[in-house]
Structure 1
Amino acid sequence: MQPDNFGYQSSVTRAGANVDVGLKNHMQSVYNRMTVGVLLTAVTAWIVGNSPALLNFFLGGPQMYIVVFAPLAVLWFGFRPERMAPKQLMLSFGVLSILYGISFASIFVLYKLPSIAQAFFMATALFAGLSIFGYTTKKNLDALGTFSVMAIMGVFILSIGTMITAMFGVQTSMMQTIISGIGLLAFSGMTAYQTQTTKEMYRASYGVDANSRAAWSAALNLYVSFIAMFQYILHLLGNRN
């Protein structure tokens, strides 16, 4: 008598289909949250950048350094997916998006609007291509992720050094261009790696709450990568006013 494997195979097929649907919904949730963050940043930057009073209030004096470094403070101290509830993560993500928008408001003064739009669409296309690659590739991208993290740390250190040097009147335009090039490559690699990691970390068995926290964490990581790529593209290719 032959064993009946039909029921077993059907169960496996249904389980696989459920995983595929769950993963698709999870990834869509991640990108939806990231998109809301990007739009919130863009709207905030537009409002502040087109208001001389707000520009002067936030970026017109020594307080600009507080505004510039405030997003980093939220990243390091105010966003803890392993400890915070999804609603708290949503609030932190919203605050971070607004702070980034305020710190980027000066681009509407420094750069021509067509250049800003061009950089945004280029960053969007690059991000989409890298995300598709990270999602579909069978190759393990852990090495790329490690390299990207090291490069980002180097960019951060160089940026701080360049900022301090510029305060003493030293010309830093060439160094800023080099930093932008390295930063663009680093965050490009990070985007592909983060997408693959987001895909691999999803498990339906983790439950709604845990997967929601993971989605907020992934959305934040991809949001930061997109914003960084946009910033570096704008610096490299943008036409200044």
Structure 2
Amino acid sequence: MNQYPSMQRSAAKPEVVNAFMRGVYGWMSAGLGLTALVAFAVTQSQTLLQMFFTVDPATGAVGMSSMVFVLFIAELGIVFYLSARISTMAPGTATGLFMLYSGLNGLTLTPILLAYTAESVASTFIITAGMFGTMSIYGMVTKKDLTSWGSLLFMGLIGIVIAMVVNFFLQSSAMAFAISVIGVIIFLGLTAYDTQKLKTMGETVPEGDTAAIRRGTILGALTLYLDFINLFIMLLRLLGNRE
């Protein structure tokens, strides 16, 4: 999303665009780091697990609780609020909300991570980083205009959400496999598409306006963070070894 439509794309120097993208990747990495830290802390603490989740005393299986659903709603609220109000929000507020979202996501991802072995979680993370990095670089350097991908990827994303809701009731392993495969393709495409869109934002950001640049980097970090996390979850369902 271009937050600065009145600026000409040619206004920004290459070094300004590069600095903008470094800020995006830097904040995205900080968000992922906080997510990993919170998830690790919760998985290692029975007290925290019992505080936020239902834990079967016999098997130790971790399930969702009403509090987690409240946190899910809070996460969605943060994402929508950030996306809608980022252009007028104080940079510190935007940064704080993004980091809050990242921390909450580490908490709500805990049951998914506990369902798989630590080794498969780690290996899937590395694979995700490699695939994400490759597609993000493609989005940065390609001369092809990826704008036409947007509507197709959005329709695919809506289709995945609908299919996941349907499969919640059907519990079909074949359908779950298909959703994960298609999800990987869609989020790889979104990574390239969003990266190119953010590069365009970096070309139109008002040079010297530190507040606007920070808001833009936070919005970009949130966008790529969501692509990375969803790609990781889809790959984990395909490649992960369950406990």
TM-score category (smaller protein): 0.7 to 0.9
Q: How does 1:1-241 map to 2 (within 5 A)?
A: 19-60=13-54, 61-79=65-83, 80-163=85-168, 165=169, 170-202=170-202, 203=204, 205=206, 207-241=209-243
- The alpha carbon displacement at 1:62 in A equals 3.0
TM-score norm. by structure 2 comes to: 0.84
The whole-number CA distance in structure 2 between the counterparts of 1:111 and 1:162 is: 21
Q: CA separation of 1:161/1:72 partners in 2, compared to 1, >3 Å: closer, same or farther?
A: farther
- The alpha carbon displacement at 1:174 in A equals 2.6
Q: CA separation of 1:240/1:174 partners in 2, compared to 1, >3 Å: closer, same or farther?
A: same
Instruction: List 4+ stretches of structure 1 deviating above 6 A.
Output: none
The whole-number CA distance in structure 1 between the counterparts of 2:120 and 2:184 is: 17
Unaligned runs of 5+ in 1: 1-15
- The alpha carbon displacement at 1:209 in A equals 1.8
Give the letter for the 1:184 counterpart: V
TM-score norm. by structure 1 comes to: 0.85
The whole-number CA distance in structure 2 between the counterparts of 1:88 and 1:63 is: 25
Q: CA separation of 1:42/1:159 partners in 2, compared to 1, >3 Å: closer, same or farther?
A: same
Q: CA separation of 1:171/1:157 partners in 2, compared to 1, >3 Å: closer, same or farther?
A: closer
- Which stretch of the first structure deviates more once superposed, 53-62 or 35-44? 53-62
Percent of residue pairs bearing the same amino acid type = 33
The whole-number CA distance in structure 1 between the counterparts of 2:188 and 2:37 is: 24
The whole-number CA distance in structure 1 between the counterparts of 2:122 and 2:47 is: 24
**Preserved contact between residue 145 and residue 189 of structure 1 (Cα < 8 Å):** no
- For residues 96-123 of structure 1, what are the alpha-carbon distances to aligned partners after superposition, in whole Å with 9 as ceiling and x for unaligned? 1011101111234211011000110011
Give aligned pairs, total.
Answer: 221
**Preserved contact between residue 98 and residue 222 of structure 2 (Cα < 8 Å):** yes
- Which stretch of the first structure deviates more once superposed, 83-92 or 203-212? 203-212
The whole-number CA distance in structure 2 between the counterparts of 1:204 and 1:106 is: 40
Give the letter for the 1:172 counterpart: S
CA RMSD of aligned residues (A): 1.9
- Which stretch of the first structure deviates more once superposed, 120-129 or 108-117? 108-117
**Preserved contact between residue 30 and residue 219 of structure 1 (Cα < 8 Å):** yes
**Preserved contact between residue 184 and residue 233 of structure 1 (Cα < 8 Å):** yes
The whole-number CA distance in structure 2 between the counterparts of 1:67 and 1:59 is: 12
Higher helix share: 1
| Higher relative contact order structure (alpha carbons within 8 Å, sequence separation ≥ 6) | 2
**Preserved contact between residue 78 and residue 101 of structure 2 (Cα < 8 Å):** yes
**Preserved contact between residue 82 and residue 219 of structure 2 (Cα < 8 Å):** no
The whole-number CA distance in structure 1 between the counterparts of 2:53 and 2:238 is: 23
Give the letter for the 2:70 counterpart: I
Unaligned runs of 5+ in 2: 1-9, 55-64
